[in-house]
Amino acid sequence: MRKPWFPKETENCHKTAAKKALNEELLRSIQESEREINQWSHSLPSVTHGSQLGMATTEFLGMEKLIVCVHKRQNALCRLICFPWAGGGTSLLAQWGKRLSNSIEVFCVRYPGRETRLNEPFAKDMTSMVNEVTSVLLKELQEKPFAFFGHSFGAYLSFAVALHLKEKYGLEPVHLFVSGAHAPNSEAILPIKSISVSDAKDEEVFEYLQTVGGTPSVLLHNEDVRKNLLLTFKEDFRVFQTFSFEKAEMDIPFSCDITCFNGGDDKPYDLQGWQELTSGDTSFYELPGGHFYLLEPSNEIFLTKHITRCIENAGL
């Protein structure tokens, strides 16, 4: 019989720590949901018409399902909508709401198939995710200025949502922040889209996820967490492979500024193509670290301060 690659005592310790971490995360999610429901119920105007109440309830449930807002700022001048990476949740980016200035309210998008949406099927393609985000957030995006931040898979999704909003509703972010991703019009995306994830062995995918980081090692030693992470990453990657964008030769989709971030130790990205997608300014920042450089506290401080400054200088 093949011996485990770590002692049994270590395995039990990891499982206990992982369960505790998961329970704490679930408890925080439940408590946040209860607070939001309580706030909503007290602020709901008296409605006598059944269809109006049903519509209000549907809108609230859509927001409750899709959006995490840890720090509500009703008087904020702008909203920052954050899009996590493949296989990721809302725990990190949602916390940016406590780091940014009072003039900015942070929404983090919760993808299907995880957290409080664990029992929902994963998205079937990029178009369905774009349509869901747009339909749920449209009222809020029409209400006040907004900016987007997306990392890796989230960068492509944020771009696709921004493009859909511009083409269909004439709405545009005041600033687009993208991180750890090729420009969507780059040929460097094509080889990634041709990878057959369904044929890849779990061990190979898991080794890749360990290499790039982004998940606490204590959780990776829990078999249930590991299986769920592998499934979620594969499903998100499959959605990414349905993303397509072909820039018309003379068409410039956006007029907002675009800022690109990446880790200096990460693989190189083709970023220059972002300049072709806006008539606004495009800037590039390389920070110390690998693909998940943004998890480093010093980098997180830089990102949140820089994003705050860019949004507040956008002439809102």
Whether the CB-CB separation of 66 and 110 falls below 8 Å is answered with yes
CA distance 48 to 29: 32
Q: Name the residue type at position 200.
A: A
State the sign of the Cα–Cα–Cα–Cα dihedral 236, 237, 241, 245: positive
Cβ atoms 315, 237 nearer than 8 A: no
Q: So which residues are the catalytic ones?
A: 152, 291
Listed as own residue / partner, the contacts of 113-118 with beta carbons closer than 8 Å and 24 or more positions apart are 113/232, 113/235, 114/89, 114/228, 114/232, 115/29, 115/89, 115/90, 116/29, 116/33, 116/65, 117/65
What CA–CA distances, in Å, run from 54 to 36, 61, 141? 18, 10, 22
